[in-house]
A and B are shown apart, each in its own frame.
Chain A
Amino acid sequence: MKDLYLIAQIADRGVAIDGGLVDSVVDIDAIVAVPHAPVAVRGLAALRSRVVTVIDTRVALGLPPSAIVHRAVVAKIDGHHYAFLVDALQDVAPLDRRPLPGGHGGEDGWSRGGTAMVEHEGEPLLVLDIAALIPVAVADAA
């Protein structure tokens, strides 16, 4: 059983994102910063009449922030719309999801977001679980 995956480029690596989660792929224009938000929250952006929370995917993966902000993958998670920044979008393809090979430890951020792998044109790609990239809200004292 093959599912549709978006093949995207993040920090010079190809990743696959479950197409079922993705609402649309957009070009992000202006971003309004959110003071006192977790670092991975790049800010808010308007998408037609909707406000989306822009997640800097690189920061969420424990990498330095993205230098250029351009394309993003939009998904609705727990009732809120998020835009995940990607460097580039390469393809959409039906692929087979496979477990990660044994012994795959991965770097910190990547291991949090990566849940499985797919093979695309002979190249293994990490399946990125974008929902896991959303910073967990720190319980507010108030």
Chain B
Amino acid sequence: MKTAVITVLIVWILLSGVAWMLQPKPDDLSKTNLTWLSDDNPTRREQLGLFNRLNPQYNVRLDPVDTNTGGGMEKVIVQSIAGVGPDLFDSYGSYKLATYVKAGIAWDVTDELKNAGIDVKKDAWKLALSSVVYKGRVYGVPSNVGTPAIWFNKDLFDKYKVPYPKNVRTWKEFLPILQRLTIRDEHGRVKQYGFLCDSWMVTQFIWQWGGRTYTPDGTKCVIDSPEAIAGVQFFHDLMYKYHVMPTPNDEAAMATQGGWGSGTMTLFMGGKGAMALGGRYWLCSLRDIKELKLGAIECPYGPHKIYWGSSRVTIINKNSPRRKAALAFLKYLASHDYNELVNHQADCVSPMKAYCYTDKYMHDPDYPNEDFNAVWRDTNDYAMTEEVSPFINAQTAGRIVEKQLDLVRNNQKPATQAMKAAAREVNAEIQKNLDRDPNLRAEYDRLMGTKAK
């Protein structure tokens, strides 16, 4: 027994010694240390590194968060309530911005940016503004902007002797190409799909067919309109009628692994699809596959030319004791150095529009084969950002709509029934919220009254 106790004690002391040696170095107290909560993708550290080199008085560290699962907002709010929030954090879309503002976490930097000579409203992409401007006030600086387009694998086009797509405008024109590139094996099982697309992109189809989630004032969910249903139906048809896109079941069978990027990108990289709807940021991973010959074109559209656009914006935590210092980072996001770096890295496109209209953007000498950069820039002009209603929590609405879309995607419910159920449930939730909150009710009545006039 005595031997055992002594052995455990020695091992414990040794392990403590190892832990002591492995502990992170203390912060350099001669610098101002800042924390940036963002996704830990391959480009982020380089962006941080450049800032730290250009601003030796600061040391910005990454606090990684998985933005794919929506974990960012949860982490920022919970940490900030506990008094240990990050100094800077990323936000996506108008709903999250509104939430951060109402929660007292986002710092209004309108005046600070103005004093620094930064005019986000004028210089940034229009599609980024809803993510950074709330009730006329500016709460941060966009850190990138993106709208998806069609990637195509030139080798697969060559292999099946299909000319590269050019001047393809509508889905109707696009379908025959997708069908030619959907290849089956001797058992009739699809071994290569013509088209790959993330399931959440169904919203883009709803918009392209003229549908919307809410009325413009957000008082009612109208995702059951004939136009919205037609968009969902077309998305469904790509899987179950035309068989040019994998069903959720097919995707699982093709063993997508997710991780940074998306399952769709992994499938495209693995040659499981000739074309895929994806962002410019895919290049961060696609560039690693040297033998992949890529092309890109604008995404086809339905009756309306609209694309799903989004922007990542960086916001300063209002409660941070280092918020003044954090301003330096926002200035960096609007700078020449940062914007050129983002374009070079292909972390979507630069948040400041002007940097996408340079020769360097169009022809990056390090990537001479990338002759498609104009596509990612030009699609931004047709981008629409997420729709939100002030009368319902976007996450709640998302959960309700997603459940119905899940049933459509799994071919368990017709699009019409599913969208009617989604609209019914969302509208019921809106009414429930109005009953709970007199202020919300007053705003709703005001809008409805306005509408009646």
Q: Is chain B a partner of chain A in the same complex?
A: no
